[in-house]
Amino acid sequence: EGTKIVTHSMSTSGIMYMDLALNLDSLEAEDLKYLSLFERLLTEAGTEDKGFEELTQFINTHTGGLGVSHILSQKTSGTTVGKPDDVMGYLTLRAKCVPEKIGTMLDITKEVLLKAKLDNKQRAIEMLKESKAGMEAAVVGSGHRYAAARLSARFTTADAIGEQMSGISSIESVKEMLKTAEEDWPTIQSRLESIRAKLLHTKGEKKMIINLTGDDSLLEESKGTFQKFISDMHQNAVGAEKEPAKHDWSSEIKTVGKGFEGFSVPTQVNYVGFGEQLYKPGEAVSGAAQVISKFLSTGFLWDNVRVIGGAYGGFCGFDPVSGIFRFLSYRDPNLAKTIDNYKAAADYLANIELSQEELEKAIIGTIGDIDSPMSPDQKGFASLTRWLIGREQKDLQKRRDEILATSAEDFREFGRRLQALNKEADAVVIGSAAAFDAANKEMETKFEIKEIL
């Protein structure tokens, strides 16, 4: 019936872990702005049969929890940088329970997907007010996350969508959504109902993936229960009978234009982001890049941005799927000086001489990060995510081998790439108006300043 069941057999002490994923490609780009609200309403607004408190109590009584979220990522192949417009997105419902409660867990899943009260205006307005307040507090207190998202939104469709859903752009979107909910609720409700109808239409290819992690015997014994669930979902789906069209988000959402952007907020510190696409689509990325990024964060950037510069944090991050490299600072008293430190990192690496002991220490630290212990449900979900992105086990092993084989020359080569990056990189800063005024007097490239609160 078009539904895929993926199983991971491992010892789980008798617990069944389920991840249900619904493809989002039938949603318009505009729908994605409402996705976070839709996700919360599924489990926090009650259903046709149960109020919010009763539903919450029922979930907690019969399962180990049930949560709704989404996966959104650029796709890739092997260890190369993916195409900027190749994106995948899934709504995910994750739950766990003991064997005798599997049927009940699936009944709850059906109920929240098919019968959630998307017409609960009061709860929706409360959620939007919470989101607005949370975002306004976060952009002042954790501005580095917003700077990072804004930088990445220049290069890939997936990152541009992510920025619109939870970045700086989303602050204004949530304000507009709240205003519409208060003044014209039917418009919001119609959008939410439309999202559900597109995700759970009654005819055509069913875009459901069920990812199960459990003991081998439990997976075998529960096959019939899950087959019945799939049959019930197809028979009781909501929405139009005609399969909704797939949407090409790259034609509906444009990436952010290049340039130095400054977002002024009421604060006395700055969150300074600086970055560029270090590896272009199709280029192979060595695992050595992870070693070098961690080395920079815990060494050069710690010393120069945090210890000497006075910031609460200075670090960098590299995404091997998109090829994007970003420098970031946290609660930073400086702006122009921090960007100078970022640029200086390139020459530092390009001319570095590492002892064998320093090199081994950097490699061991990176291996510790990628091979950290995972619970059974984390292993199962990580495997699902890698599969959807386009990664195989052999790709992970190749990256691990490359990390272990990292050499001092890899550091110098990375430094030379950063030297080229310095000429093209953009800056995104969340900070004070006074800091931007000072920076624009001092720096050759000027910031375009916008107020966001």
Could you report the average pLDDT of every consecutive run of 10 residues in the chain (453 residues)?
A: 87 97 93 97 96 96 97 91 95 98 97 96 97 96 97 97 96 97 98 93 69 97 94 78 84 95 96 97 95 97 97 96 97 97 98 95 92 92 93 91 97 97 96 96 96 90
Cβ-based burial of 104 (10 A; exposed 0-12, middle 13-18, buried ≥19): middle
Half-sphere exposure of 92 (CA within 13 A, CB side): 19
Contact at 8 Å (CB) between 100 and 222?
no
- E-state strands within 86-163: 87-97
The three-class DSSP label of residue 254 is coil
pLDDT at 240: 67
CA distance 143 to 137: 9
pLDDT at 243: 75
Q: Which residues pair with 326 in a beta bridge?
A: 275, 317
Strand 324-330 to strand 87-97: parallel, antiparallel, or no bridges (unpaired)?
unpaired
Q: What is the DSSP letter of 80?
A: B
Q: What is the DSSP letter of 242?
A: S
pTM to 2 decimals?
0.93
Give me the residue label for tokens 């950037």.
301
pLDDT at 205: 52
CA distance 22 to 41: 16
CA distance 114 to 107: 10
* Coarse DSSP helix, strand, coil percentages of the chain, rounded to the nearest 5 percent: 55, 20, 30
Residue type, 190: S
Say how far residue 278 (Cα) sits from the centre of its chain. Answer: 20
CA distance 130 to 275: 31
Say how far residue 217 (Cα) sits from the centre of its chain. Answer: 34
Contact at 8 Å (CB) between 120 and 45?
yes
CB 283: neighbour CB atoms within 10 A? 12
Buried b (16+ CB within 10 A) or exposed e, 61-78: ebbbebebebbbbbbbee
- Report the alpha-carbon angle 412-280-158, nearest 5: 125
Residues 6+ apart with CB under 8 A from 379: 8, 10, 213
CA distance 146 to 140: 10
Contact at 8 Å (CB) between 97 and 64?
yes
Contact at 8 Å (CB) between 72 and 22?
no
Contact at 8 Å (CB) between 54 and 46?
yes
Contact at 8 Å (CB) between 353 and 113?
no
User: Which tokens hold the place of 452?
Assistant: 């966001």
User: Which tokens hold the place of 108?
Assistant: 């709850």
Contact at 8 Å (CB) between 399 and 291?
no
In this structure, is the dihedral angle defined by the CA atoms of residues 356, 357, 358 and 363, taken in order, positive or negative?
positive
Say how far residue 280 (Cα) sits from the centre of its chain. Answer: 21
pLDDT at 203: 54
Give me the residue label for tokens 């039917």.
186
Contact at 8 Å (CB) between 326 and 144?
no
